[in-house]
Structure 1
Amino acid sequence: MWRAIISFALAFVGHVAGQTVYLAGDSTTAPGGGGKGTEGWGQYLHYSLKIPVVNKAFAGRSARSFTREGRFDEIGKLLKKGDFVIIEFGHNDGASHPDNGRSDCPGSGTETCRYTYDGATETVHTFPYYLEQAANSYTAKGAHVIISSQSPNNPDESGVFVSSTPRFVDLAKTAATNAKVDYVDHNAYALAAYKPLPVRTVDSCFPNEHTHTSAQGADLVAQAFVRGLVCGGSLLSGYVKNATSAIEGACLK
């Protein structure tokens, strides 16, 4: 009974105050995905929530380049007290030689590197550092932040289901812990959603290569995020619609 009362109260407050959910991420989240008939999971999240979703994710970006280009700042300028921001990166954050402007400095704390990109030398920080800086700036404005681990690549690509955990999954959790914000292990919940499906079905979710999803795959990955959201108890879970709060799947430990 109390849970129902709390959910109603949250929905009412959200309606009155006009809360909005903003998404920061790469092509796996962004409108249009990676192109060629793919779509980002962020385009399907609004079906699960009672409040508006604004997808500010942008293809080809990493935590570093999203910061350098002022995209985190752009979201910050739009925020009102009580808004939500979901931050998910990792696919483009790995090392590259020569530097492609996206690689983060190795490490999990305040380590820095000096990279040269596009003719300019840049002080580069670690993956958690970029996420923490963005999260801290948003919470200072009264927003609620959720750091999400990256969605998985095709786990059935080899014909045998492989549950891989890229290093940026743990680094995303580190950032959430340090910034004292909510965390959703999107990678784990998406893998759990793919696992019971036939190989052919999973493969169809990745029409071009192993990273970018079809519309069907994006919808599945969005539902997996919602399952992780509800299981994690984030304040945003109080705004999940009844139809999607009952998405099948057990909560992961």
Structure 2
Amino acid sequence: MKAFALIALAAAMSAAPAPAEPLWRLSLDGSGAKQGFVPVPAGQPYRAGGAGYEPGSRADALLLSAAVPEGLYRVTVTFGVGHTTVKAESRRLMLLDVTARPGRSVTRSFLVAVRTPALTPPPLNAPGGDHVRLGAAEAKVPDWDDRLTLEFLGQPRVKTVTIEPATAPTLFLAGDSTVTDQPSEPAASWGQMLPALLDDKVAVANHAWSGETMKSFLSGLRLDKLLSQAKAGDWLLIQFGHNDQKAQWPQTYVDPVHTYPAYLKAYIAEAQRRGITPVLVTPPERRNFGADGKLVGTLDEYVAAMRKVAAEEHVALVDLNAASRAIYEALGPARSPLAFNDGGRDRTHNDNYGAWLLANAVAEQLAKVDPSLAAHIAPGAVHFDPAKPPLPEQVRIPESVARSSARPAGN
């Protein structure tokens, strides 16, 4: 499968289709008027079908939205003097601390996947549905709306923004709350940090959501939506286990001996028949420390089952469980990242710092299991050592505008 992925990626890169006409050329500082850029003056609110700022925007945190159809987009931003971090949609980290010095502007590009809940309706009398089955809370997050939202944090001095349709190899993510784009602070997951560790030649489409299991991801038509957007040469990263193990959830419980391996193999088959490369990701461990300072395993049966399936099916495995154990034990109980100020009761989820560490661990292993991706992963991630993680003061990720202490639904 590695050879196939390498060939497919090379073909996608070399195809070089004629560049699409940009949907938006936006000027945030008044520059670019002569080049056909549309001015977006400070305070101009977003209106349906247009471009403007979302509520909550302020001097150190701009929330800019532009109406776009579902698809993949290349966003090119020119920065003036300052330090700017860029997030997209539900706080996906795209660029971390872009620095522009006096006398020089800086231009950077990245890829953003935009989706809606809509699905092609099934034929008459066929089972299925015409939309992903979202809960009331999820239906309100930016990942599913009719626009592309960008968040500029820090000392944002954005000059221009260009948004144009793109085609690129894509990493699709299927999983639960430890993977999803968490919509509000302080929670964060590795999937929403991963885009910042890739260059602008490979995209990330994160379809994970809180509370999901391998069963519910199917019954909610999430896998259908994901597969409707994926193409040959893409990747499907599959990480489940935290909610699958909940026997108290009878409709979605997936036991580690029979159903968990069977569902993994079904996901693998659905990907492979479409020319998509499946990658299994073992679920990160919960932060339950024993008296010896080592983590107490809570997912061991599921991790072992996933490793066995990867070997049997000859598919790539990212052992995030092992990497997370190394990270948390290196930091120790006192410094292990906690997403919620609840006295340490939540030992599963992460804050921005913890999510960044796990994303680096995933990227480091992706570079090893699939050489076609190595050249597109940030050097710092390629050489990341889980046993020697950077300390919190070395990882500064600005918080987003919208903040909430609410716990995500499920683990």
TM-score, normalised relative to structure 2: 0.49
SS of structure 2 residue aligned to 1:239: coil
AA partner of residue 194 (structure 2): L
Distance 1:12 1:65 in 2: 32
Q: Which residue of the partner structure matches residue 186 of structure 1? A: 320
Deviates more, 1:132-141 or 1:190-199: 190-199
Q: Deviations over 1:143-184 (max 9, x none)?
A: 111011001111447683325252111111223233332111
* RMSD (CA atoms): 2.8
Higher helix share: 1
Q: Which residue of the partner structure matches residue 221 of structure 2? A: 70
Distance 2:12 2:256 in 1: 44
Distance 1:76 1:190 in 2: 29
Distance 1:129 1:234 in 2: 28
Q: Which residue of the partner structure matches residue 308 of structure 2? A: 174
Deviates more, 1:129-138 or 1:156-165: 156-165
Q: Which residue of the partner structure matches residue 231 of structure 2? A: 80
AA partner of residue 239 (structure 1): H
1:29, distance to aligned residue in structure 2 (A): 0.5
Q: Deviations over 1:74-131 (max 9, x none)?
A: 111111111111010000011424x4422014524xxxxxxxxxxxxxxxxx011112
Would you say the 8 A contact 2:176–2:213 is kept in 1?
Answer: yes
Distance 2:290 2:177 in 1: 20
Which residues of structure 1 form unaligned runs of 5+? 1-5, 109-125
Aligned length: 224
Whether 1:13 aligns to 2:47 is no
Would you say the 8 A contact 2:12–2:168 is kept in 1?
Answer: no
The alpha-carbon distance between structure 1 residues 106 and 163, as it changes in their structure 2 partners (threshold 3 A), is closer
Distance 2:334 2:340 in 1: 10
The alpha-carbon distance between structure 1 residues 89 and 47, as it changes in their structure 2 partners (threshold 3 A), is same
The alpha-carbon distance between structure 1 residues 205 and 219, as it changes in their structure 2 partners (threshold 3 A), is same
Distance 2:203 2:219 in 1: 27
Q: Which residue of the partner structure matches residue 377 of structure 2? A: 240
1:14, distance to aligned residue in structure 2 (A): 7.8
Whether 1:140 aligns to 2:273 is yes
Distance 1:184 1:19 in 2: 19
AA partner of residue 146 (structure 1): V
The alpha-carbon distance between structure 1 residues 148 and 106, as it changes in their structure 2 partners (threshold 3 A), is closer
1:43, distance to aligned residue in structure 2 (A): 0.3
SS of structure 1 residue aligned to 2:380: helix
Distance 2:239 2:325 in 1: 16
SS of structure 2 residue aligned to 1:93: coil
Structure-to-structure mapping, 1:1-253, within 5 angstroms: 13=13, 16=16, 18-32=168-182, 37-50=186-199, 51-97=202-248, 99-105=249-255, 107-108=257-258, 126-156=259-289, 160-162=293-295, 164=297, 165-204=299-338, 207-208=341-342, 209-233=346-370, 235-249=372-386
Q: Deviations over 1:41-75 (max 9, x none)?
A: 10001111221111100110111111222211211
Distance 2:240 2:274 in 1: 22
Distance 1:11 1:158 in 2: 53
The alpha-carbon distance between structure 1 residues 139 and 18, as it changes in their structure 2 partners (threshold 3 A), is same
Distance 1:198 1:171 in 2: 27
Distance 1:177 1:90 in 2: 18
Q: Which residue of the partner structure matches residue 120 of structure 1? A: none
The alpha-carbon distance between structure 1 residues 206 and 235, as it changes in their structure 2 partners (threshold 3 A), is farther
Distance 2:282 2:233 in 1: 23
Q: Which has the higher contact order (CA 8 A, sep 6+)?
A: 1
Would you say the 8 A contact 1:132–1:178 is kept in 2?
Answer: no
Deviates more, 1:159-168 or 1:55-64: 159-168
Q: Which residue of the partner structure matches residue 126 of structure 2? A: none
Would you say the 8 A contact 2:281–2:317 is kept in 1?
Answer: yes
AA partner of residue 13 (structure 1): M
The alpha-carbon distance between structure 1 residues 245 and 36, as it changes in their structure 2 partners (threshold 3 A), is closer
Higher strand share: 2
AA partner of residue 225 (structure 1): V
Deviates more, 1:85-94 or 1:241-250: 241-250
TM-score, normalised relative to structure 1: 0.77
1:242, distance to aligned residue in structure 2 (A): 2.3
Distance 2:225 2:189 in 1: 20
Would you say the 8 A contact 2:175–2:208 is kept in 1?
Answer: yes
Q: Which residue of the partner structure matches residue 92 of structure 2? A: none
SS of structure 2 residue aligned to 1:96: coil
Would you say the 8 A contact 1:207–1:213 is kept in 2?
Answer: no
SS of structure 1 residue aligned to 2:336: helix
